[in-house]
Amino acid sequence: MSLQDYRRRRNFAKTREPAPDDSAPGGGRAIFVVQLHHASRRHFDFRLQVGDVLRSWAVPKGPSYNPKVKRLAVEVEDHPVSYASFEGDIEEGYGKGHVDLFDRGVWATRGDPEAQLRKGHLEFELFGERLKGAWHLVRGAKKERQPAWFLIKAEDAYAGDVEADDLLDAKMRESTRRAATTPSLRAAAKKSTVRKKAPPKTRRVPLATLTKNAAALKGARKAKPGNGFFAPQLARLRETPPQGDDWVHEVKWDGYRILTGVANGEVLLWSRNALPWNDRAPEIAQAIEALELDSARLDGELIALDTEGRSDFNALQRTLSGEAQAPLVYMIFDMPYLQGYDLSRTSLVERKALLERLLAHAPPHLSYSSHNVGDGDDVFAMAMEQELEGIISKRANGAYHSGRGDDWQKIKRLESDEFAVVGYTPAKGSRLSFGSLLLAKPDRAGGWTYVGRVGTGFTDEMLRQLGKTLAKGGTKKPTVRIGAVDPMLRGALWVPPRVVAEVYYRGIGNKDLLRQPSLKALRVDKSPDDLRDSDRDPPPAKKTPRGTTKAAARAAGADAIAITHPDRVVFPDDGITKQDVVAYYRAVMPWMLPDIADRPTSTIRCPGGIGAPCFFQKHVMAGLDHVGTAKLKEETGAAAVYLYPRDEAGLIELVQFGAVEFHPWGSHVDAPDIADRVVFDLDPGEDVAWPRVVAAARKVRSLLDELGLVSFVRTTGGKGLHVVVPLNPGADWDTVKTFARGFAEAMAGLHPLEFVATAGKRFRRGKIYVDYLRNGRGATAVASYSLRSRPGAPVAVPLRWEELGRIGSGDAFDLRSVPRRLARLKKDPWEGIDKVRQDLAAVNAKLGA
């Protein structure tokens, strides 16, 4: 099944069903939706988002909570993700009838859903309002034109004697009554109006007992409940675990810190920087609700599990962004409040003992983070052996207090591997012989790739000996491939790889360089050629950076953004990788950021590279911690949360999530209804030569000059040019749109053989379309210095008017040439654009608007 079948079966000029939209936004959790469809035969449409489509099955009798009941599910064509919100009447043609939204939520599965579907058995979980718990889709043996599957409830806490028709609300029952044309439908219409609830089968410690236990703890105090955000306790980084039985040691989970507040039974999840997370992790909120607590505060880490049941940070990021459906688990390690009692002053081990009792029979998405008393070195050794991120050591009798202190300490795992020494940096100050050794790993092309510098771990004697042998001579031209810019390499001298160094390090950083390397030994028993025949995969190629804590990311800015899959090819025809894209945006950041910061921004995300489907993303998505968010009204009047870059860290984080292009509004988030830019997009027809586009831009500038308006020009990275008019003071969008349309029509009227102001392509032959439609609320234009998701990695580049005649095309600049151009420039081509004072009131009067 495919969207092609969906398109073929519908006339979108007549049906209200949504047409497939290649630019439909994605980026949230993968969803499921069930729609009650009163077609010629009443049925439930069951849909799971897999990638960019909704895989769909028609279930005649609807889902059943009884594990012994196998419900026929006939596979039908894929539907667009936008279909998930469709309700109402299909008035004619295929599927004619009324559609009600029965349920919607997110779903998860352990493993690749596509692979499971190909094998004919998908095991998954649903987290909706009506449908919850574990389920199976099993393909029938008989191959029909429309493959038959069976939808089966798994044995779990939600299983019971409940049918889909038991869960209909008044609106859906009324639709069923009106569509009741057969005895079976009339019987369904008369079903009970009371929704049955399958009680969980798990046992729990009585809440009265837990409350009594909490009250008895030393230091417990009665306090009013609250489910708002509370600042978490934070740890300090240490090299080794603290010693003695006064300390307990836990696994350092590789995920996102989540804080939970429960008050009057209402559960609220918060990120460590106070962002609400219920919508991003509904399975966790539902699991905590199942505990039926009146009030509580919980502290833990949200993790994703791989197919082996291990914590996988990459899977967590991909699940939160909609690229995967891994099961999520809340590893809870502290409980500073329970059932009306503030436990923050009680000892940690007593809080954890009570927490363990609470979670003894909790739903599977909640897990207790256990600990060891004492033996910190052994616990850390275990973490090393199992390749965990590290451990957290905590004072056993410690209170719970917000902020960073010495009561909690984090000890991260050191890794080691062998690398070729390919150069050195000069010594500084009192340092002997050299500053640091330059390291490289073998690459697949038979050469070497730079991985970083090691400057610690040397004795004075080693420094002296290496200064006489290895760190001597060399050339300023690198002998290896350098994928990331390192400013410390400016004075480096490079030598052919002759020596092998074994190095400790703390993972791979966002520039694909070793983090905190320290020399372990020089391997005199090995040569660099031995590294090409290693008995294991080189760590830099296999161990994806797992990121840093969000507090550290905020402190270190964009340098703390972990870049996963840096070798992923984004521009396949040009061999440009994700790391290359990151390096480009870092290089142009001082020039680009002023044009985009604090503006609502749509991005074009290409998580699989530009050769795979790309899509617009304008709303906030899970996993973004450095990007600003603003709740703004849509054109429909409904409110939505838009994203916007605030600083370098936010922009780089969007690139980490696959963003290639950036398209900001012509207004800022603090005044979204006031435009401060007007953009005219000069879009030439197929047979229009470039010199005519240049001449057209100059004519636009000339007419703007006559109106008293200063303008600026940039290439678009495509076929045309943008002429940009700054406004100060700004104007409301109606005023701007009226002016832009009037100006475009005036250009078409003055030069009818040159310009057209109508969007239809048939009108553009031999002419240049003056696109004024980018000047409305919510409309966007490509940002200066943004890449375009096209072969060649072209860039939209601001120009001085004086240099326009020297430019050969709208895509004359690319990812490689723009940094070189900026290095030569003495000043910004758009210098002063934010200081120009001009307004549209008098201009509109001149135009008679």
What is the secondary structure of 94-143 as a DSSP string?
A: TT-EEEEEEEEEEEE-SS-HHHHHHHTEEEEEEESSS-EEEEEEEE-SS-
Which residue's entry shows tokens 């760590």?
539
223 beta partners: none
The rounded distance, in Å, linking the Cα atoms of 312 and 319 is 11
Q: Are 622 and 321 in contact (CB under 8 A)?
A: yes
Instruction: Name the catalytic one among 252, 394, 699, 737.
Output: 252
Q: List own/partner pairs for 66-72 with CB under 8 A and 24 or more apart.
A: 66/153, 66/159, 66/160, 66/161, 66/162, 66/163, 67/152, 67/153, 67/154, 67/155, 67/159, 69/152, 69/153, 70/138, 70/150, 70/151, 70/152, 71/150, 71/151, 71/152, 72/148, 72/149, 72/150, 72/151
In the chain, the N- to C-terminal Cα span, in Å, equals 52
Residue 430 near residue 462 (C-beta atoms within 8 A): no
Q: CA-CA distance, 339 to 212, in Å (whole number)?
A: 9
Whether 747 and 696 have beta carbons less than 8 Å apart is answered as no
SS3 readout for 566-622: CCCEEECCCCEEHHHHHHHHHHHHHHHHHHHCCCCEEEEECCCCCCCCCEEECECCC
d(CA 417, CA 373) in angstroms, rounded, equals: 32
Quote the tokens at residue 179: 């569509």
> Residue 819: how many CB atoms within 10 A of its CB?
17
Whether 811 contacts 792, CB under 8 Å: yes
- Per DSSP, 713 falls in state E
477 is catalytic: no
- The enclosing H or E element of 820 equals helix 817-824
- Determine the 3-state secondary structure of 522 from DSSP: strand
Output the six-digit token pair for 124. Answer: 């998954």
Measured distance CA(776)–CA(772) in Å, rounded = 9
Mapped to the 3 state alphabet, what secondary structure does 754-816 carry?
CEECCCCHHHCCCCEEEECCCCCCCCCCCCCCCECCCCCCEECCEECHHHHHHCCCCCCCECC
Q: Which residues are tagged catalytic?
A: 252
